[in-house]
A and B are shown apart, each in its own frame.
Chain A
Amino acid sequence: MELSYYPGCTLKTRAKNFEDSATAFMAALGINLKEIPRWNCCGAVYSLADDDLIHQLAPVRDLIRVKEQEQGKVVVLCSLCFNTLKRANLLMRNDAEKRKTLNTFMDEEVDYNGEIEVVHLLEVLRDDIGWKTISDKLKVPLKHLKLAPYYGCALLRPQEVAIDQMERPVILHQLLQALGAEPIDFPFATKCCGSFQAVGNREGALECAWNILSSAIRRRAEALVLSCPLCDFNLAGKQEELKQKYPEFKGIPTLYFTQLLALAFGLDSKVCRFELNYQDPRPLLESKGLL
């Protein structure tokens, strides 16, 4: 089976560990993630201004690339790309006037009417593959691993793109349970990581990250699980700065959910590219006998 797949910029560079682990475990499930040709940056954030159509062009062009493949849907891994593409798709589906303007402007492209579906990989796992099939595939159950599922913003807000209940999501919890790990509930699971403020307001973003990490640690989590390279930069990439600011902080690894799937399916740990994780998760995984 083949699924059209949109990677986005950061999965090709800093977050190669996210992409490689995903393609590997999907292959183990018999599904080929087929990268769409000639994709471009989605714009990272969805334009919230009613009169700003120029920034809708990038995500809509990506959707047209999918349509040209005669595929009914596209799978996205990065939470931020997912949010931007899905919202742009809904705009093209539901707003006749803007659809007409955008289609006229892109006269070199085929007309697009929001006919494809944009889905996140977690939705494919839950709705198409199912937790049971995943459990049956387990070779290395992630026993005794206490993991805090961190959802962030882009998978859950706004309502029309949410992959789960906005205020009490369970999809990552369910995945971790299927993998044999212990999901740790914590109150900051859906709080923003600080996002793009990592550039414009570094101190503010750092504090957002600290609130999330310290909350997970108070609940005895051993690592955080996420699905967004921007969250990963804020939550894991800034930990050295946090250690200076908060001397009692010893650091906590973050993992992409796809790395856990590859690990639990017993694949060669090279596909997880753990060397790219900002905080090395290998000592933790070795201590649990998982590596």
Chain B
Amino acid sequence: MRVGVSSKKVCGDFAKKVKEISKEDFLLCYQCGMCSAGCPIAFAMDLPPRQVIRLLQLGLEEDIAKSKTIWLCTSCLTCSVRCPRGLDLAKVMEALRLISLRKNIDYVKPAEIPHDALAELPQIVLVSSFRKHTA
């Protein structure tokens, strides 16, 4: 895969915004893969967490947007507590989700949840899902 990298992207608004929301320095990441190895839901991801951080370092916003990874993250913090560089990946993932959600684009659309599913979901599931996946 050919990837176009430029200083304009690396130091662009996208990178700045992620840093501003997460207060995390994702340039700390040296791509060891500890995060992906411990991630409980990496099996369902198209890109492992490590690769999302690499794309972010390169400022490749569109490639991250194409991936489902940030929406599969469960915020379980396993990666955050294990990262040998002290990078809190869960905060970075949250910032990436918020950049999309703040454009008022819901990932979970409450109106589309089937009624039978709605009846069985306890509050704790609905509230946490809406908090993470709706604007």
Contact = CB atoms under 8 A, between A and B. Distances in A.
Contact of B78 (A51, A55, A153): A153
A175 interface: no
The binding surface of chain B is classed by DSSP as helix
Nearest to A203: B44
B107 interface: yes
A199 B129 contact: yes
Contact of A201 (B23, B40, B72, B128): B72
Contacts of A233: 121-122, 124-125
Contacts of A201: 41, 44, 71-72
Contacts of B131: 43-45, 47, 55, 196
Contact of A230 (B23, B71, B95, B124): B124
A196 B125 contact: yes
Interface string A210-253: 01000000000000000001100100010000000000000000
A197 B126 contact: no
Contacts of B107: 200
B35 to A, nearest CB: 13
Contacts of A229: 122, 124
Interface residues of A, number: 44
Contacts of A196: 74, 125, 128-129, 131-133
Nearest to A229: B124
B91 A44 contact: no
B100 to A, nearest CB: 13
A194 B42 CA distance: 11
B40 to A, nearest CB: 4
Nearest to A191: B40
A203 B45 CA distance: 12
A204 B80 CA distance: 20
Interface in A149-192: 153, 157-159, 166, 190-192
Given A50-B22, A233-B121, 4 more contacts: A13-B123, A194-B74, A229-B122, A233-B122
